[in-house]
C-alpha cells in the first residue's frame, strides 16, 4: 500500500511524515488563529486553515495564545501582590494601623481620599509599565508562564506598556466587555491588546 503524501497526512492529523530526519526543522504559525504548528503540518490542527509554506525557526516563532482563565488568574495574583505592597507602604508612611485600614475599607461612610486613589493608580501603572516593558511579564504572568509581546513577537516598549495598562480602564468603563473578547476571539485578544497591538502568549 502506498504511503500517504505529506499534504494528505497533514489534512487528517495536523502533523505529517513519520521520519523525523526527513522533516524540515522549525515551525509554522497559523495566520488565522495564531497557533504554532509543526513544520511538517499542512493544515492548522486547531482551526483547520491551510498553513503558509514559510517555515520559521524556533527562535522566530511566537508561542500559542494564552486563554482567558489563565490570564484572569495571573491578574488576580498581581492584584494580591499589589495590595500587599500598597498596604505595607500605607502602614509605613501613615499613622494608621492595619485594623484602622480594614475598618475604613468596610465603612460605607468613610470619606473618599483622592491621595489614596492617586497612590494606588501610580503604583499599578508603574508596576505594569516597568514589568511588561522590561521583562514582558508581571509576577503573576511569570508564575503561570505567559508573556506579553507585540504581534510580531518583538518586545513591548515602556510607552506602549503604559498605554496598555490605561486601556484596561476602557474595558472597565464598558462593564468588562473589553476583557470578554478574549475567550471569544481566535487570537485570544482583549480590547487593550487590539488597541496596543499586543498579544499574550504561553512562553
pLDDT digits (tens, 9 = 90+) for 9-44: 444 444 444 333 333 457 777 766 667 777 778 888
**Is the pLDDT assigned to residue 164 strictly greater than 90?**
yes
d(CA 135, CA 203): 12
d(CA 186, CA 165): 22
* Nearest Cα to Cα of residue 62 among 172, 199, 182, 171: 199
Domain boundaries, the chain: 1-61, 68-202
> What is the structure's pLDDT at 183?
92
The pLDDT mean for the chain works out to: 79
Collapse the DSSP code of 46 into the 3-class scheme (helix H, G, I; strand E, B; otherwise coil) and give the result.
Answer: coil
Report pTM.
Answer: 0.67
d(CA 182, CA 132): 19
Mean of pLDDT values over 146-169: 93
Its sign, for the CA torsion 189, 12, 43, 55, is positive
54, 28 contact by CB (below 8 A): yes
- The predicted-structure confidence for 94-126, as pLDDT tens digits, reads as follows 777 777 777 776 777 777 667 778 888 999 999
pLDDT, greater one: 199 or 9? 199
**Is the pLDDT assigned to residue 79 strictly greater than 70?**
yes
pLDDT, greater one: 148 or 96? 148
186, 32 contact by CB (below 8 A): yes
The 10 Å CB-count burial string (b at 16+, else e) for 89-118 is ebeeeeeeeeeeeeeeeeeeeeeeeeeeee
Residue identified by cell 494606588 is: 120
d(CA 171, CA 83): 21
pLDDT, greater one: 104 or 165? 165
Amino acid at each position: 500500500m502506498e504511503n500517504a503524501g505529506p499534504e494528505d497526512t497533514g489534512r487528517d492529523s495536523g502533523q505529517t511524515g513519520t521520519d523525523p530526519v526527513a522533516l524540515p526543522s522549525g515551525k509554522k504559525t497559523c495566520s488565522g488563529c495564531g497557533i504554532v504548528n509543526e513544520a511538517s503540518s499542512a493544515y492548522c490542527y486547531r482551526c483547520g486553515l491551510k498553513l503558509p509554506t514559510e517555515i520559521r525557526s524556533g527562535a522566530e516563532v511566537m508561542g500559542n495564545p494564552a486563554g482567558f482563565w489563565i490570564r484572569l488568574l495571573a491578574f488576580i495574583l498581581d492584584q494580591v501582590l499589589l495590595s500587599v505592597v500598597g498596604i505595607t507602604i500605607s502602614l509605613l508612611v501613615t499613622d494608621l494601623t492595619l485594623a484602622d485600614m480594614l475598618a475604613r475599607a468596610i465603612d460605607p461612610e468613610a470619606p473618599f481620599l483622592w491621595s489614596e486613589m492617586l497612590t494606588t493608580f501610580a503604583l499599578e501603572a508603574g508596576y505594569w509599565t516597568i514589568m511588561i516593558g522590561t521583562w514582558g511579564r508581571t509576577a503573576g504572568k511569570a508564575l503561570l508562564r505567559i508573556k506579553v509581546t507585540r504581534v510580531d513577537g518583538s518586545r513591548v516598549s515602556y510607552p506602549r506598556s503604559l498605554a496598555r495598562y490605561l486601556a484596561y480602564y476602557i474595558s472597565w468603563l464598558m462593564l468588562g466587555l473589553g476583557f470578554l473578547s478574549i475567550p471569544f476571539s481566535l487570537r485570544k485578544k482583549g480590547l487593550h491588546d487590539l488597541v496596543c497591538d499586543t498579544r499574550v502568549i504561553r512562553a
